[in-house]
Amino acid sequence: MSDVGTFSTLRRGLALSPELRTGLAGTIALAVLQMAGRVSVPVAVQQCIDHGINGPSGPDTRIVLGYVSITLMVLAVSTFCGFLMTRRLFTVSETALGGLRSRTFRHIHDLSMLHQQSERRGSMVSRVTGDVDQISVFLQTGGVQLMLASGQLIVSSVVMFAYSWQLTLVVLLAFGPAVAVIRLFQRRLASVYRTVRERNGVLLGAVAESVVGATVIRSFGVAGRTGRRIDTAVDDLRTAQQRAMRTSVTSFSSGEIGAGLALSGVVVVGTLLGVAGDLTVGRLTAFLFLVTLFIQPVQIATEQLNEAQNAVAGWRRILDVLDVDPDVADPDDEGVELPAGPLSVRFRDVSFRYPGGPIVLSGVDLELGARRKYAVVGETGSGKTTFAKLLTRLMDPAEGTVLLSGVPLTAVRFSSLRSRVVMVPQDGFLFDATIAENIRFAEPALTDGQLREAFTELGLGDWLAGLPAGLDTPVGERGEALSVGERQLVALVRAYVADPDLLVLDEATSAVDPATEVRLQHALELVTRGRTTVAIAHRLSTAQAADEVIVVDAGRVVQRGPHSVLLTEEDSIYAKLYASWLEQTR
Amino acid sequence: MSSGTGNDVLGRGLRVLGKAIRAEPRLFVVSSLGSSLFGLLIVANSYVVGFLIGHVVAPAFAAHRVSAAGLALAVAALLGISGLRVASIFARRLGAGFMQFRLQARYRRAVTRRYLSLPPEWHQRHATGSLLSNAGSDVEAAFAPIAPLPFAVGTIVMLLGAMITLFATDWVLAMVGVALFPALFALNFFYSRRMSPRQIHAQRMRAKVATVAHESFDGALVVKTMGREADESRRFAVFVTELRDALVAVGRLRGVFDPLMESLPSVGTLAVLVLGTWRLQTGAVTVSEVISVAFLFTVLAFPVRAIGWVIGELPRSVAGWDRVQAVLSAEGDLRYGEGELPGDGPAELRFDRVGYRYAGGPPVLSEVSFTVPAGRTVALVGATGSGKSTIAALALRLVDPDSGNVSLDRVKLPDLSAAALAGASALVPQIPFVFDDTVRGNVSLDRPGIGDDDVWAALRLAQAERFTGGLPERLDTAVGERGTSLSGGQRQRLTLARALAGRPRLLVLDDATSAVDPRVEAAILGALRAAGTSLLVVAYRRASIALADEVVYLHQGRVVATGTHQELMATQEGYRELVTAYEKADK
Ligand SMILES: Nc1ncnc2c1ncn2[C@@H]1O[C@H](COP(=O)(O)OP(=O)(O)OP(=O)(O)O)[C@@H](O)[C@H]1O
Ligand SMILES: Nc1ncnc2c1ncn2[C@@H]1O[C@H](COP(=O)(O)OP(=O)(O)OP(=O)(O)O)[C@@H](O)[C@H]1O
Ligand SMILES: [Mg+2]
Ligand SMILES: [Mg+2]
């Protein structure tokens, strides 16, 4: 990580939010005016000393009052400008950062499933919350202060120069070493602040696990272990923060030493100049005031540059996300719509491996006809879910192509794909809302009546009627206020109302009791006529009900055909599976 | 949540600070001393500058002659002050920073300890996202004023020092300070009063944004499969906009406060000039004294703002503190007894007229009584939503019943110690939960006495030996957050192995083999029975049920019948329908 990295991150970070430039000129103008007020005070002091106090006629209150009232007016204007500037700054920066939050959020959703899973949830959340907050703190306090400080630096240098170029040179020379030290430290700071942000993400991840896994932790009595892990994360964060603080203070104090050198240099050189007759006491005094006006911004700038590193770390973490191209991308305008009507599926020599893992599907070559019902069966870990994810383009195959009704999946626009192809994943997820809201997630326009109808069509009307609040029953976070089977029912209805042409069910009824499952299956059969269904199941009752069964074993399709035909293939995997099923269920 | 009036926010904010100081007194003293030194040095510096101008520079100018000794004195004084200032900055900044970080760490630990000790029922009532922000941004907010606190303390010391020197110089000039300093405090006071509700609102919106983001990322797969990315983004944007508005409201107020806070000391400088001139005329002060005092007000401008920083942060601090306190003071902990379970054979589980309802809902279980005799297998059969998982949770004392008793080997569960309970029984939940850890860590959970051999044995028993053996780093393979790199069935077997590894005396399997092939399931159950563990099994498969010594048939939260499978088949219509559904479907 280099100095260049810091500045290019800063540049790219700022470029991410072009909104930040809204009215920037006006904001800067206001800031300059505000600063003018600050500079007016030492000038007034000088004028008062030279003309009012040390004036020819001795101390003269009238002259002093004159200068003071002018300065007061300048101050009033500059204070008002400060007010306007802060207001603008907050509005602009918060609007821009709000946009950044939303865009990052969207980008995370656009990332491929595997990318999403490679990142811890707590850490993703921190990118749209804490990391952005860091930037906002910097833009609003640091940013203004840096801006004001640099303005003040320039103005006070100019004024100092007007008072005495020799003394100005002394001041600049005194700060030379400090500037070098500060530059040197920026590099260190960049890396320590990055560590701080990272460890913050790790901590949130650890805390999230203790919350989500609370029951398991309790039932195994391992709270101590989880607690120790969190402690480690907490302490790691604290050490990183302390290291960042030490580095930043060291860098800051070099500015302080510069200030001491500058002040003493000015006194010495100023006295020499004064003795030579080039300077009045008033001018030297004013110059000393000006030096403090010069020192202040240097200190503020050092401080804020340190803060900036924090913001840069935040920006960098956001860029880290935004820089990841959604590798399973929406072809968007270049894409095509799926042809109307029921969809057929073709897997052409498809292989897949998870990143860094072994091959889990190989040489899958399949054709699934439109309007037909398929069951996919196979052992745990044989690759069924992987197959379903390739079919719904949650992932792209490593080799080969998946086609829907002759169109390669990669060419299909997501708007078309996601409305026509719907999967109910193995772990059906519900949002913390009511049943109705969860189902409307798929079809926002549905009325309560239509929702009820959907339940009735799937034979779940009685279940819904039995709920205390019916459709308005809250399901709790992740659906936890429902039983696991009930969650699956809701997830199924949600997919059903989406009315897809290809419905993929990955163990969608694994927790539902047999009687309800059978009823559901009958109902689905009636209502899914006309659409293509692919159902993955361990319960072979699903396979029996399908038009055709696809048997997966160790990543290969080893058998396919109607249940009755496969049964006759003696010693086949399916025959064995079914024998076992019969034996276990009858 | 109360928004509070300015008065009590200020008061409560100061009390939070008081607590913080009492928790880290040493660091506070070090940093405040550093900061006070810093403040006094500022005062000293302006007097030194005034003195040098009056006694070294001006005479030299007048005499057109430099005194080397005088200049050396000036340089030594200025550099000496500068050196002391560096030392004071280190003390102040490091002290304040370390104090803040230590406090954050301490409260993060405390909050997460509460998370670990509060019962599952409490967890269900709180969204993960907001619990995350309690431990994250709320703790941070609570101690945000700590960073500028020592600076502010030092500033107060400095102001006192300034007042004393002012009075020592001239009482008229001192009046400027008398008028100005209280004005600064009053301004701060009004500011914090107006700011408080805005900060509280902003903090609440922050938590809301985190909650929505967390939930949305949690459900990312559903969002994706339904193609609802755009709608989710819109939903999120609503809260982002609200947060933005809240923060802009904060900014507007700061826009009033910050410039005023900055201008006031300048007004002081100007007042000193006017009054100083008048006092010069009357001969009450010297030129160098006027300059010193004017200089003093100029340098005061910056540090005085530190008080504003502290007070400005107080409302947010109080908001964060309240949210943290809500966790720390949450009640409803399950109290554990002291009881131990003697022996190490299979244990007997008994439900005696147990009733339970989830908060605010209808009764889910009523009058549930049954027994799992030591070493026996009991199957729990009932339709979806009939209350099986609730029974499983009660058996492990994840929740306490509203009425009736659950006991293990005739000891009521609440009388048992936490360790005795966790050591004796194990639950394989319906939804497997896998830790972000290695295979070994997930199975052993670092419980004492579970070595690699035991882990392998448990994996073997759970039929997970083959796939874990094939993993690239075997037991050391990390499985990802919530086990993302495993298939559903693999996750289930891993959690099964975890339960088996502790050799529980009672094992509760809540539909824990749904993703396991039927034959494998039978093998697992057979092995468990042979090992002599008491088993409570939620199952639907005939073979699994047939393995049971007894079946408890549950219907809408009531035990309808208990008996062998054959008995229930013969007498219970509902039971028969439930377990023979697949056969019927064939016909
Ligand atoms: N995200 C992932 N990263 C790495 N490996 C994975 C990932 N997901 C699955 N695997 C591996 O790929 C293989 C196939 O998994 P898949 O989920 O397709 O199995 P499955 O047939 O659906 O099994 P189950 O019946 O248990 O659901 C397994 O060995 C699994 O460990
Ligand atoms: N946290 C909760 N809050 C409110 N109601 C709940 C909660 N958990 C479960 N319920 C309700 O209690 C009833 C029993 O739920 P439980 O999970 O015990 O059923 P189950 O028999 O395990 O069902 P399944 O076979 O679907 O797993 C259900 O009607 C469910 O809606
Ligand atoms: Mg699967
Ligand atoms: Mg259940």
Shortest alpha-carbon distance between residue B93 and chain A (Å): 7
Dihedral sign, Cα of residue B251, residue B256, residue B259, residue B260? negative
The arithmetic mean of pLDDT across residues B176-194, rounded, is 82
Closest residue to B515, CB basis, from A121, A468, A510: A510
**A242 lies in some domain:** no
Domain boundary pick from A162, A192, A208 = A162
Domain range for A536: 371-385+413-585
Q: Which residue of A has its CA nearest to B129?
A: A208
- Are the beta carbons of B79 and A260 separated by less than 8 Å? yes
**Alpha carbon of A385 to those of A377, A504, A507, A535, B479: distances in Å?**
10, 10, 9, 10, 17
3-state secondary structure A211-266: HHCHHHHHHCCCHHHHHHHHHHHHHHHHHHHHHHHHHHHHHHHHHHHHHHHHHHHH
Closest by alpha carbon to B274, among A44, A563, A94, A110? A44
In this structure, what DSSP letter does residue A472 have? G
Interface contact B251, partner A, CB < 8 A: yes
A466 occurs within a structural domain? yes
From the CB of B566, is ligand 1 less than 6 Å away?
no
pLDDT over threshold 90, residue B308: no
More confident residue, A336 or B9: A336
Domain count, chain A: 2
**Residue A266 falls inside a structural domain:** no
- Cβ within 8 Å, pair A210-B116: yes
- Here the CATH number for the domain that contains residue A127 is 1.20.1560.10
Using a CB-CB cut-off of 8 Å, the residues of chain B touching A279 are: 61
> Could you tell me if residue A187 is inside a domain?
no
Domain ranges for chain B, please list them: 6-328, 349-586
Query: In angstroms, what separates the C-alpha of B236 from chain A's closest C-alpha?
Result: 7
CATH (residue range B349-586)? 3.40.50.300
pLDDT of residue A584: 65
Confidence of residue B406 (pLDDT cuts 50, 70, 90): very high
Tens digits of residue pLDDT in B21-40: 998 899 999 998 998 888 78
In a domain, A199, yes or no: no
Determine which residue's CA is closest to atom 12 belonging to ligand 2: B364
The residue out of A162, A197, A229 marking a domain boundary is A162
Per-residue pLDDT tens for A508-566? 888 888 888 888 888 877 776 678 889 888 777 777 778 888 988 888 888 888 877 77
Q: How far apart are CA B244 and CA B250, in angstroms?
A: 10
Partner residue facing A513 (CB), from B384, B426, B586: B384
Higher pLDDT, B240 or A583: B240
Residue type at position B130:
S
| DSSP three-state, residue A414 | helix
Comparing A76-90, A264-278, A302-316, B334-348, the range with the smallest average pLDDT is A302-316
**Residue B270: closest CA among chain A residues belongs to which residue?**
A68
* CB-based contact, A87 to chain B, within 8 Å: yes
Answer whether B432 contacts ligand 1 (Cβ < 6 A): no
Output the CA A466–ligand 1 centroid distance in Å. Answer: 37
Q: Which residue puts its alpha carbon closest to atom 11 of ligand 2?
A: A482
CATH, residue A380: 3.40.50.300
Among candidates B89, B225, B514 on the partner chain, residue whose Cβ is nearest the Cβ of A392: B225
- CATH code, B6-328: 1.20.1560.10
Asked, for residue A379, whether it belongs to a domain, the answer is yes
Specify the pTM: 0.83
Among residues 440-499 of chain B, which lie with CB inside 8 Å of chain A? 445-447, 467, 472, 480-482, 484-490, 492-493, 495, 498
Ligand 2 pocket test target in B384, B390, B538 with most atoms within 8 Å of CB? B390
Residue A550 Cα to ligand 3 midpoint, Å, equals 14
**Residue that finishes a domain, picked among A124, A144, A162:** A162
Residue B340 is encoded by which pair of tokens? 């131990």
The mean pLDDT value for A489-499 works out to 87
- Whole-number Å distance, alpha carbon A539 to ligand 3 midpoint, is 13
What are the distances in angstroms from CA B499 to CA A510, B35, B89, B450, B494? 21, 57, 56, 12, 9
CA distance A401 to A390: 10
pLDDT at B2 over 70: no
B531-560 residues touching A, CB cutoff 8 A:
540-544
Distance CA A194, CA A197 (A): 5
Tens-place pLDDT, residues A228-277: 989 999 999 999 999 988 988 888 888 788 888 888 888 888 888 877 77
pLDDT score for B518: 67
Instruction: Give me A498's structure tokens.
Output: 């989406």
Chain B residue with CA closest to A303: the answer is B93
Write out the two tokens for A186: 């920026």
Mean residue pLDDT across chain A: 83
Which atom of ligand 1 is the closest one to the Cα of B467? 29
Q: Is residue A196 part of a domain?
A: no
* The predicted structure's pLDDT at residue A236: 93
Q: Kindly determine whether residue B490 and residue A486, on different chains, have CB atoms separated by under 8 Å.
A: no
- The minimum-distance atom of ligand 1 relative to the CA of B490 is 26
- Note the helical H segments in B329-447: 388-395, 418-424, 439-444
Q: Which residues of B535-567 are buried (b: 16+ CB within 10 A; e: fewer)?
A: bbbbbbbbbbbbbbebbbbbbebebbbbbebee
Nearest neighbour of B270 by CB, restricted to A71, A442, A463:
A71
